[in-house]
A and B are shown apart, each in its own frame.
Chain A
């Protein structure tokens, strides 16, 4: 079980899959979701298996989510902002022209 070791920073509210999530200013999206117990961020493009936070430092590209309509954003490299709309990704992202 993950718990916050400090609670400084102002409250920031964003949404994940349409549900409000309370974070702290300075959190990454990955940290904020982890802190409230959300670990399933997308499904593997290849196998469909659930994927989530792994390296937490921008290297592994496992924590990809859709942020404000833009797919394949790294949750661990995206800072929370009030009102961010974060969505889980299912399967491969369709590339559109």
Chain B
């Protein structure tokens, strides 16, 4: 006989970085939460992530997103510390700042323009990125190649291990007396009194509130609860080298060194549907570009590679929305599951717990794609 968790305060559909961060955040506030995860057949963007906590390029064209990203980076140190207190698991978070490297004057000019546009976003706090010339970059990152003309340094940027973060969040949910259920692919979502019941491959679960955090799955679940969540897939590929002694003091936008010494190299942006295949032409492009940034990478062997599918809205910015027809139902989508994990656990979860997103979250509603005015 299967013993099922009792009815929870909140059901979270999706056990990736988004669902797990919201789930742990709610559980930390004393809610009982059940996180329903599809299982190993899921696309698992959370396990293909590059691992940046990245501020400097986020939210050009949507200042609410820029501010939200900055809030998450600001709260990451406390978030990571609290998760460690709950679980003993370190996310491997470091905040040495991050560098966007430029290989042409044209790219440097574009980056300078972005930097200028973004400077006003956070008011007196500043946005925290500055343009550096080649010599300034070389002082901070001695391994750069002759093609690097300059870059932008963001002092709020950092990186963490996506896998340790996910493991920590799952452990944190358990440590707080809540439940993570694997293999619970969702079949039906129905109203049940004042709350909801969700029929899964592992049985029926009930709760007063419901959070959709199923990545691309949200597009299918949305219509069941009065939400229209348009999403598109975009593939990114990553290469991983053998472990070497530390030589990169900070992450860059396409090359970072993990705590264990591996070098992760990304990234591609491919329109190939839901494919997660590694493909040789893209891998070779990624490798040769990385070798222009850091020529010594040519001497390293690649030991792993993978592809993963980003969860993108039509404009690339996140979607946070509560259902108008189904009270207590929230939908969360973003592609930056690591960067925004701090905000999801520490800032978004309290709003969901209170049953109401803050008014400024209207900007993140999917209604922006439907030509409706509000």
A residues near B (Cβ < 8 Å) are 45-46, 61, 64, 72, 91-97
Say yes or no: is B296 at the interface (Cβ < 8 Å to chain A): yes
Determine which of B247, B259, B260, B303 lies in contact with A95 in the assembled complex, contact meaning CB atoms within 8 Å.
B247
Kindly identify, within residues 243 to 296 of chain B, every residue whose CB is under 8 Å from any CB belonging to chain A: 243-247, 259-261, 295-296
Q: Contact residue range for chain B?
A: 10 to 19
Say yes or no: is B85 at the interface (Cβ < 8 Å to chain A): no
Given known A45-B260, A45-B261, A46-B261, contact A94–B245 (CB-CB < 8 A): yes
| Chain A residues, Cβ within 8 Å of B244 | 45, 72, 92-95
Say yes or no: is B143 at the interface (Cβ < 8 Å to chain A): yes
Q: What is the predominant secondary structure among interface residues of chain B facing chain A?
A: loop
Q: Are the C-beta atoms of B299 and A96 separated by less than 8 Å?
A: yes
Other than the given A95-B300, A97-B299, 14 more pairs (CB < 8 A) read: A45-B243, A45-B245, A45-B260, A45-B261, A46-B260, A72-B301, A92-B244, A92-B261, A93-B244, A93-B245, A94-B245, A95-B297, A96-B299, A97-B296
Q: Are the C-beta atoms of A95 and B243 separated by less than 8 Å?
A: no
Q: Are the C-beta atoms of A92 and B299 separated by less than 8 Å?
A: no
CA gap between A37 and B261 in the complex, in Å: 29
| Chain B residues, Cβ within 8 Å of A45 | 243-245, 260-261
How near does chain B come to A71, taking the closest CB pair, in angstroms?
8
Given known A46-B259, A46-B260, A72-B301, contact A93–B243 (CB-CB < 8 A): yes
| Chain B residues, Cβ within 8 Å of A64 | 242
Determine which of A46, A92, A95 lies in contact with B296 in the assembled complex, contact meaning CB atoms within 8 Å.
A95
| Chain A residues, Cβ within 8 Å of B143 | 97
CA gap between A64 and B143 in the complex, in Å: 25
CA gap between A42 and B244 in the complex, in Å: 13
Q: Are the C-beta atoms of B246 and A92 separated by less than 8 Å?
A: yes
Closest to A95 in B: B244
Given known A45-B245, A72-B242, contact A97–B261 (CB-CB < 8 A): no
CA gap between A61 and B300 in the complex, in Å: 15
A-B contact pairs, 24 of them (CB 8 A): A45-B244, A45-B245, A45-B260, A46-B259, A46-B260, A61-B242, A64-B242, A72-B242, A72-B243, A92-B243, A92-B244, A92-B245, A93-B242, A93-B243, A93-B244, A95-B244, A95-B245, A95-B247, A95-B300, A96-B296, A96-B299, A97-B143, A97-B296, A97-B298
